[in-house]
Structure formats: C-alpha cells, structure tokens
Amino acid sequence: MDDAVHLQAAAVLEEAYSSGVPVPPLVESFPGLTVEDAYAVQQVQLASRLEGGARVVGYKVGLTSAVMQAQIGVDEPDYGFVTDEMVFLENAAVPVVRFLQPRVEPEIAFVLGRDVAGPVTVAELLGAVEYVVPALEIIDSRVADWKIGLVDTVADNASSGAVVLGSRPTHLGEQDLRLAGCNLFVNGALVGTGAGGAVLGSPLTAALWLVNTLGARGVTMRAGQVVLSGSVTASVPVAAGDTVSARIAGLGTVTTRFA
C-alpha cells in the first residue's frame, strides 16, 4: 500500500493516543494492510515522535511466548520502539490515564555497552551486553478490546505502553537466563510464574532476533539502548492504586505503582 494509507493509519492510532478512545482494528478500517505496511505505520508514528523531540532509548520484542504466538497465529515475534518518554523510574507513580487498557508483563531487559549492527551471532551479542535488569513492561492497545492480530499489534508499536527498569544492574556472567524463575505479584498476591525460557526458549534468542531484524532494516542498536526481551508470564491488567512487582532469580526485584 502507498504512503498515504500509512499516514492515515498512523493518524488513526495517534488520535486514539490523544483522545484515549480505542479504535476498531486497522485490518477492518484498512483492508489489505500487510505486516510490512504495519511496520511502515509504526515508522510514521516514530518519525512524528522524533520530530516532537523524543529519542529512541530501546526496543521491545513482543509475541515471544508459545501461548501468544498460538493466540495470534504466528511463529515469529514482532518489535516496537521505546522512546525516552515511555520510561518510568522504579517506584515512581505511573499515571494510568496515560493508557487506554494497560496490562503488565515481567521481563528481562538487556542494556547494551556498545553499538550492535545485525547480523551478529549470539556470541557477538553477548559481548555487547553491558548488563541485565529485571523490568516491568506496561503494554497497552490502541485497538478496542485488544482485538489484535499481527498486523494490528505491529502497526500499534507492538502494543507498547511504558517501561520500568529495575535499579540493580547484573552482569550476564554466570546467569542462566533460560532457567531463571520469575514471580509476578499484584498488591502482594502472586498472579503469575514462569521461567526465562518461556521467551522464545531464552531471552537471548529474542534479543538476537531483534538486533538481526533491525540490522536487516539498516538500523543499528546503540550503546545504552535497552532490549525488552518479552514477557516471562501471561500479562495481567492493572488499575490505579495497584502496586506490581516482579522477582527474577539472580536479577532481583522491580516494582512499580499506578496512580
């Protein structure tokens, strides 16, 4: 499809952000929209954010679990961008009014120590990772009732919302991210458990897919940028007043609260 359609679709999503009113699936409003179109729609939104002074601080990988991929009917993950205004400090109040239908996921985040341009091997990627931190991703959908397929979630920046990074960086060193346990709590109650391997077999696989997929599109990941590698458990809905924390073996805890 041509650029005009991409601009129109991006405008529909941007309107949903500013009005707070979710929109019908884009595949209904723009029949024939492909995954490539959807990434172009994502790019249009990124360009307008950059124009507004935002900067890219990292990327998120989505659709990384077997359950999610089966739900959406895909066998590959997707990605979205993370800009500086999407990052919240640990324990700082996150205003839920920023979101339309927020949910939270516990994740393992990689922070790069130097630039990486895909294609790279997993060994090269490991060499570029400065540290890992536990993270909470607030996912959100501008599409009503989360009625998303692959095209809709890609166009909608991989259903991203915001990110909270834990305060304790850990060197990858001897961490076994694949078998690291993760417990997710909302208001002190256990709501989900999992192991790092729930993310594409290993969070490293997700990070490698991202770096190489971006590389194929001519995008270099920069030192200091963050890779959110995908949810270890099923996501849970959150509301104002909720406190959410995730504990990941070897990496510690990350906590956020919603106001």
Partner 1 sequence: MTESSWSVERAARVLLDAEQDVEAQTSIVAEWDELDLRTAYQVQDAALELRKERGEVVVGVKLGVTSKAKQQQVGVDSPSTAWLTDVMVLPAGEPVPQDRMIHPRVEPEIAFVLGSRLEGPGVTATEALAAVKHVVGAIEVIDSRFSGYKFTMMDAIADNNSSGYYVSGPVSVAPEQLDLSLEAVLLEVDGEIVDSATGAAVHGHPAEALAFAANTLGERGLALEPGWVVLTGGMTDAVPVRPGARLAAHFTSLGSISLSGG
Closest CA to 35 of 55, 62, 66, 65: 62
CA 161, 82, 135: angle at the middle one, nearest 5?
Answer: 70
**Which residue of 33, 198, 204, 226 would you call a contact of partner 1, by CB under 8 A?**
198
Dig out the tokens for 29 from the structure. 């409003």
Among 28-36, 163-171, 190-198, 207-215, which window interacts with partner 1 (CB under 8 A)? 190-198
Residue 132 contacts partner 1 per CB under 8 A: no
Pattern of binders to partner 1 over 219-238, x per CB under 8 A? -------------x------
Tally of CB atoms within 10 A around 72: 17
**CA proximity to 114, closest of 228, 222, 187:** 222
Q: Under the criterion CB under 8 A, does residue 128 sit at the interface with partner 1? A: no
Question: Which DSSP category does 93 fall into?
Answer: E
The distance of closest approach from Cβ of residue 137 to partner 1 in the complex, given in angstroms and rounded to an integer, is: 18
Place of tokens 């991210």: 177
Q: Return the residue of 4, 123, 190, 239 that touches partner 1, per CB under 8 A.
A: 190
Number of residues that bind partner 1 (CB under 8 A): 20
| CA-to-CA separations, 61 to 22, 24, 65, in angstroms, rounded | 22, 24, 11
168 binds partner 1 (CB under 8 A): no
Q: In this chain, which of 5, 197, 243, 255 binds partner 1, going by CB under 8 A?
A: 197
Question: Which one, 10 or 180, has the nearer CB to partner 1?
Answer: 180
Under the binding rule (CB under 8 A), the answer on residue 77 touching partner 1 is: no
| Residue 230 to residue 106: CA distance in whole angstroms | 8
Among residues 208, 171, 177, the alpha carbon closest in space to that of 79 is found at 208
In the complex with partner 1, the residue whose CB is nearer, 58 or 250, is: 250
Q: In what order do the strands lie in the sheet with 93-94?
A: 93-94, 252-258, 243-248, 181-186, 189-195
Binding part of the chain for partner 1, among 83-91, 92-100, 149-157, 192-200 by CB under 8 A, reads 192-200
**N residues, the chain:** 259
Q: Which of 21, 47, 66, 92 binds partner 1 (CB under 8 A)?
A: 66
- Contacts to partner 1 by CB under 8 A: 66, 176, 178-183, 190, 193-198, 201, 232, 247-249
